[in-house]
Structure 1
Amino acid sequence: MFFYRLLARILFSAYALRLRLGGRGEAYAERIGRVPRDKKTDPLLWLHAASNGELTSARTVIETLQTRAPALRLLITTNSDTARALARDWGLNAVLAPLDMQGPVHRFLDATRPAALVVVENELWPERLTACAARGIPVFVIGARMSATSARNWARFPGLARRVMESIGYLSAQDTASDARFRVLGLAPDRIGPVANLKSAARAKPTEATLPFPRWATLLAASTHEGEEEIVLAAFARAHAENPELRLILAPRHPRRRDQVERLIAATGLASATRSRGGIPGPDTVIYHADTMGEMDLWYAAAGMTFVGGSVVDKGGHTPFEPAAHGTAILHGPHTTNSAPAYDALHASGASVEVRNSEDLSAAILRLADPDAQMALARKASDALAGLSADSGLAPFYTDLARAMDLPDIAG
């Protein structure tokens, strides 16, 4: 831990200094662990989700905990301002996570006194986890992901890896490959629960489409990344030239890129409106720039077909479970490693369409601009992914968490 702490102190201190000199007082205070002292005595659950994707994947878990244990108090920490804002939009108590140094971590723990920590996916910060274990705070990791590259990196520091693995009381991996890698790194078998991909627990939130677009003619480009909007817009413009009834909802992964994305949209010459600017789409609007957080359910409800972002550019691809839950036909690029088992199941059933460039995507849009074709593909996707549900796999987690926090059994 000595060398890790030395490196962390250098890097994180520089980061904290930039926050302070940049006038970001709230972010600076939260990052160094200066959060309001919790004076309540009933147990607090600390749940950490790094960014929007991890937080969204944990939403069903959060809602399940709130339903089954309504007296439970939750504190959410994130690494990004947008994820913190999203959690607050859901009505949750949320702050930025303490930097992984002794001072910030212990300051945070002294102030909040959590009864347990739940870590979502792959945020295995050594200082944070070992400090919790030293204080007798049980650590749960759910939907844990460990890539082959990450496993090799951890293996280079066996002492550090051993201490981190010993700090984890319960871990549920999101796939069998990750499960095996955690075992190789030394996580005791009796601390490993069933494989459970959190994203597979996605459920469609009750909502009504509010856009004046026909669903069968509407494509949602969900969680696109830099370099991907150009491909989507070129494909859509080409398809729209052949079928003027087509409409596009463009929902970039990072709303802070609004100005850049607006310039790309303007270059198409098609009529558009931007959500964050109060733009209201009308009958002549062709592209709706949906650049706000926490409203993806609205866009899924409005779209008969969805292109899943992060898959044409190499970002590993976002989850197909959300579009499948909303009954929308799924299109995606070749980069799908983040949810490989799910995409493998889709491929095996012919339940999604893979595209590699704007020409492929344009052709797929035109081919799927038909309600019967969309319904058939969406039904195949739902059937293909049904066997990957996380609900049963998470039951031991809920049971162990209830026991650790002295709650009634919340396994359901």
Structure 2
Amino acid sequence: MSLKLVTFSHAKNFFIRGTIGGKRILESTGTTNRRLAEEYRTKREAEFWQEKLYGTRAVITFADAATAYMKDAPRSAATGRYVDRLVEYFGDTKLSSINNASLRGAYAKILKDAEKAAPSTKKRAVRTPLQAILEFGAIQGWCDRPAFAPISVPTTIKRFLLPEQATALVQHAAPHLQPLFVFLLGTGCRLSEALDLQWKDINLHGARAVVWQKQGRQRHVDLCPAVIRWLSSIELRDGYVFRPEKKTAHGIITGERYHDSGRQYGGQIKNGWAGACHRAGLPGRIREWVPKGQKKAKQAFVPEFTPHDLRHTWASWHYCVHKDLLLLKSDGDWSGINTVTVYAKLMPPVYREDIIKWWSSGPRIVPKT
């Protein structure tokens, strides 16, 4: 039996209805245009017959699999963006036909620098989400498990600050960023955890905070005296702890919270971070470019350090003080001991007393109250 176009009084769009191979079908064409609806009916009828004769593998497209993957479990906003780009490229490509050559084609079309993109960029923006969707499809029986050529990502240098550099960074930061930087240096929290932190999860008297992971898991963080001192300097004690500030003609406006980017943090404090690093004399480079539609070049300081390097700093300080990798793994919430071994030889032992003093008293500046 073939499929037919039908309409219903409660809906504007055309529907297709019928039975193919004993399977009853009723679905919307998504259009009120009869010609487009007829094209949809013809296409879907062919797909249903192909599925009947050759199995589901023959008809499941990448777009179908990607949609099912996103609906299967909560995904981050960043994952959604990566998947959208893949769907735009692969679209109605049969899921079972995607191979290593398809992956290289995706690099060429999706990434700005194509095959010349950094291995970490290829892995993060294309390979990892593509492989996840194919793995999901394989579990459903829609395709074979993916077999891609290995991609080697060079180990990045773990950058860390010396105590005097950390002090200079805080000294030259905007006032609303100073408590945030001290918090990161004193707890080792990820920036995402810090920007999501709320006052209801802080116990200043008990020197403890509760931060939340993107998986919905909580962990308890001890607060050193320096962190408690700087948190106590924050006037607003409701809602989010760390908030953005914007200068206007009418004065400084404090925002409700930093933009929620799905746990992909760093960009929210990009300008403030770069400015603090530059004024503190930390290493970096000057980027120069000509904005589109303009003739005059602009310049911006690009620091070598990133906000995440404050976590590396805390970890290197932690081992310098305690000489205990298991304690570092636990306090820093790392999944394996191998991850933290790199911090064992970063900070020279001569800085141990300086670190203890920093965590006790904080940078040698007075927080504004």
Coarse TM-score class (shorter-chain normalised): 0.3 to 0.5
State the structure with more CA Rg.
2
User: So what's the TM-score if we normalise by structure 2?
Assistant: 0.33
